[in-house]
Amino acid sequence: MKKIQVKVRSNEDNSYEILIGQGLLSQIAGDLVEASIAHSHALVTDSNVADLYGAKLLSDLGEVLPEVSMIVFPAGEQSKTREIKSFIEDKMLESGFGRDSSVIALGGGVVGDIAGFVAATYMRGVPCVQVPTSLVACVDSSVGGKTAVDTPHGKNLIGSFYQPWRVYVDTDMLKTLEPKQLAEGLAEIIKYGVIRSEDFFQYLEANIEKIYDFDDATLLEVIETSCRIKAEVVEKDEKEQNLRKILNFGHTVGHAIEQLSDYTISHGEAISAGMAIEGEIALGETGWSKEEQGRLTLLLQRAGLPTEPPRGVNVGKIIDVMKIDKKARKGKIEMSLPECIGKMKEHEGDYGIKIGEQTIISAFRS
């Protein structure tokens, strides 16, 4: 088992551990008894994960903890709404959950985001245990404390920074994933190499296919390295004032693509296309080279990910969505762009770069 300490001490000590290894699902109940973080526990999951892992974890928890309830909502990005958040909160209130409660988020990114947001606001904040079951959740959404819901105006526009009590990454649970679901996580993993570590990018170039073979050593290496990179960034900038903006590479364009598809395009696919397009933008803005752009697009393609926008996409609508993206400032589109593999461009002390509309249009047409 690998252990990563995330040291977050902005206003108070919100530090926590990420545990990575095989068979960790069976460890959670005992850990919660030993730590005594809460009297009542709300196990929040979705309709896909409930049968796969929810019933087992509920049984484990019920054997050793006094009060446990499982709350299940429909799977999919369409459930990441204020209405589903209210549904979860109402279930907890109806069950008499008080301030001595915890929320256990068992699932992919949608479950982690919405359950984390519930934990941040329920009784003004209760402990949250993140148990990611998808690769993208293991390496990205479960780490760093970003919680949110979507609105008709855009993704993640209503939310909070709220660090978990602990993150359990059980790599055994990844073995039920389809190749497309693995690819979704690989988009975020490749991003970490681009933004922070050329060595890691080279490792991925040499080993990307092994992930699809569920090679345990490779899976452990890419998950641990990804989590360490994100933890290091979050420790330095918890609330995304500057450095943490680099984690948004590919997400300005990607979130717009995802939203305009009505979430028929997965998060990973959208972020992959977003990185390829934002890489094209970087060619004229940061010194990012055509050779590096070629390496990025080739690695994404080898991972089974798209490197072009969806056919028939309306660039004007993409731009409109990006203008109200949470990263925009004064209606101006802002992106974090690579200078070279392993390093993001810093402009006047800021990792956010304002990008003109014509530059974006040209990148979509290239």
Catalytic residue among 91, 251, 295, 345: 251
Catalytic residue among 166, 255, 295, 345: 255
What one-character DSSP code corresponds to residue 18?
E
Task: Tell me the C-alpha distance between 6 and 234, whole Å.
Answer: 8
Residues 6+ apart with CB under 8 A from 24: 1, 168, 169, 170
Task: Tell me the C-alpha distance between 194 and 47, whole Å.
Answer: 34
Catalytic residue among 41, 155, 191, 244: 244
- 54: burial class by Cβ within 10 Å (0-12, 13-18, 19+)? buried
Catalytic residue among 41, 80, 146, 228: 146
Active site residue 63: no
What one-character DSSP code corresponds to residue 12?
S
Catalytic residue among 94, 124, 178, 330: 124
Give the β-pairing of 154-161 and 353-354. unpaired
Residues 271, 306 contacting (CB under 8 angstroms)? no
Catalytic residue among 188, 224, 235, 280: 188
Active site residue 228: no
Active site residue 146: yes
Cα–Cα distance list, 37 to 7, 62, 126, 286 (Å)? 19, 16, 9, 47
The amino acid at 137: A
**Pair of tokens at residue 150:** 């979507």
94-103 burial by CB neighbour count: b if 16+ within 10 A, else e?
eeebeeebbb
Catalytic residue among 240, 258, 269, 280: 240
Catalytic residue among 267, 278, 280, 295: 267
Catalytic residue among 248, 269, 285, 334: 248
Catalytic residue among 80, 155, 228, 230: 230
Active site residue 39: no
22-38 burial by CB neighbour count: b if 16+ within 10 A, else e?
eebbeebbeebeeeebb
Active site residue 188: yes
Active site residue 248: yes
- Active-site residues: which are they? 124, 146, 188, 230, 240, 244, 248, 251, 255, 267
